[in-house]
A and B are shown apart, each in its own frame.
Chain A
């Protein structure tokens, strides 16, 4: 998931921006070339990688932005509601920083500007709906039967996000769009692909157990604040806030075999200096200098009084007593695995067994590291193992040194929590 974006050619298409603003963008791109890894160019029509929207998205025609993998809104600074938007007048540093952030995301996705590759591998011209036409009735509700194959997800973050939301319970289109913040047309395309792969359960509205509005939504709207905070805050950049009375905490536990990267993942994400209980490793069977024997701890402050507390378990089975102690009252579980181990699926089974009584009702994601060192077993092999146990658990390749990769794991857990609550 952490492909280097260097050398990619990306197209930026401004819409509803003035000629002067387009000229400014052009100038910013020339001046900021040394700060960007990709080759950016401005196009005024045709396919692009990033749409810069000068008006709110809902005021623009769907056809204008349906194919763009990323949208960069521009708004008057007084609006201030969208943390991801660039403020007017355009500022050089903010603009280059925004493009820099988009480069990594886009480097993981096939570029529609460079090819006619569909959104997902399974969507064909025959199955994809025309713009503005949806393939399912407005009352239909969707849930995954199993985690989608990697080819179908296509490394698109919005596909992963959509799948995460649909892994917990049946969701209608409107709710899916609202929770995921993904365009309806892209949602529809993904649903079509899931249906074609026979892993989508579609129910008409009248079979709903109870209206979504009546559900207790303790964890409502966690993903959006997380995404905003994570983009805005760099690791360990500021001290923790201690307004305890107003703070609402969520606990996510990282577990998995030794060396899978639990400590690194928490260190990568934590807004505060992490608590680490590593000591010198004396086990010759384990090729690492230090190992965690107590716990790891980090914190992501979501703002608005909410925070995510990240706990890491020791990996070795002799510390099994800590696994359950640390997982008590956790909102979710991130199982990190190391694909370079001799039998990675057996390693996964150790943790699935250890948490088997809580897994069916726990938000959980599996992150597989070091796939570049060893591609087998594949992500789909992991999914098969989980499905074989009757578990709907997302599986993703991950580089724990990459903040965006780890963030995606946390985002998936929070997405599951939002829909399961």
Chain B
């Protein structure tokens, strides 16, 4: 892991805790590298961070390939809307590193709230 990523770990953990604090314990967040290693995670919802990190990196990469194919630029957000919950994936650049963040919520959480929290998390991570 590069120095940039190592220095991000603590900051990512604080930011992850803050998001779960704002949305509720019935959510989960995993912050990972673009190649599928989890840097930080929070939340009581049953989910294995390492596996989710790998899956989300694949998901984000396929999304990026599809965006490129469709000539719509670089993907910012991907959403899996399921019957009992939602996965919101945000692709971000932090300190020159590609980061994939996944927020897992139930259906009661508004999509706009999830997006807002992920945007705030990106700003937090980007602050020096």
Name A's B-contacting residues (CB within 8 A). Answer: 275-284, 291-295, 314, 316, 318-319, 321-322
Contact = CB atoms under 8 A, between A and B. Distances in A.
Given A280-B98, A319-B54, A321-B55, A295 B34 contact: no
16 contacts: A277-B58, A279-B61, A280-B34, A282-B33, A282-B35, A283-B37, A292-B61, A293-B58, A294-B59, A294-B61, A294-B65, A314-B58, A316-B36, A318-B36, A319-B36, A322-B58
Contacts of A278: 61
Contacts of B98: 279-280
Contact of A275 (B1, B34, B51, B69): B69
A194 B2 CA distance: 54
Contacts of B60: 294
Interface in B28-42: 33-37
Given A293-B58, A318-B50, A319-B58, A276 B35 contact: no
B117 interface: no
Given A293-B57, A318-B36, A318-B50, A277 B5 contact: no
Contacts of A280: 34-35, 98
B55 A279 contact: no
B35 A277 contact: no
Which 8 pairs from chain A and chain B are nearest by CB? A277-B61, A294-B61, A279-B34, A294-B62, A318-B54, A294-B58, A293-B57, A293-B61
Nearest to B37: A282
A77 B60 CA distance: 52
B18 interface: no
Nearest to B39: A282
A42 B2 CA distance: 61
B121 interface: no
A276 B37 CA distance: 20
B14 interface: no
Given A282-B37, A291-B35, A319-B36, A276 B65 contact: yes
B64 interface: yes
A277 B2 contact: no
Contacts of A295: 58, 62
Contacts of A293: 34-36, 54, 57-58, 61
Given A293-B34, A294-B65, A282 B1 contact: yes
Q: Name, among A278, A279, A281, A291, the residue most crowded by chain B CB atoms within 10 Å (CB to CB).
A: A279
Q: Is the interface of B mostly helix, strand, loop or mixed?
A: helix
Contacts, number: 61
A278 B57 CA distance: 10
B35 to A, nearest CB: 5
Contacts of A276: 65
A257 to B, nearest CB: 15
Q: Name, among A275, A295, A318, A322, the residue most crowded by chain B CB atoms within 10 Å (CB to CB).
A: A318
A322 B54 CA distance: 10
A294 B56 CA distance: 9
Nearest to B69: A275
Nearest to B62: A294
Contacts of B59: 294
Nearest to A284: B1
A321 B52 CA distance: 10
A316 B36 CA distance: 10
Contacts of B33: 282
B57 A279 contact: yes
A55 to B, nearest CB: 49
A322 B2 CA distance: 26
Contacts of A321: 51, 54-55, 58
Nearest to A314: B58
B38 to A, nearest CB: 10
Nearest to A274: B65
Given A318-B50, A321-B55, A277 B1 contact: no
A278 B34 CA distance: 9
Nearest to A290: B35
Contacts of A322: 58
A279 to B, nearest CB: 4
B27 to A, nearest CB: 22
Q: Name, among B35, B50, B55, the residue most crowded by chain A CB atoms within 10 Å (CB to CB).
A: B35
Contacts of B36: 293, 316, 318-319
B40 to A, nearest CB: 15
B54 A275 contact: no
Contacts of B61: 277-279, 292-294
A104 to B, nearest CB: 32
Contacts of A277: 58, 61-62, 64-65
Contacts of B50: 318
A280 B96 CA distance: 11
Contacts of B69: 275
A220 B97 CA distance: 49
Contacts of B54: 293, 316, 318-319, 321
Interface in B1-41: 1-2, 5, 33-37
B64 to A, nearest CB: 7
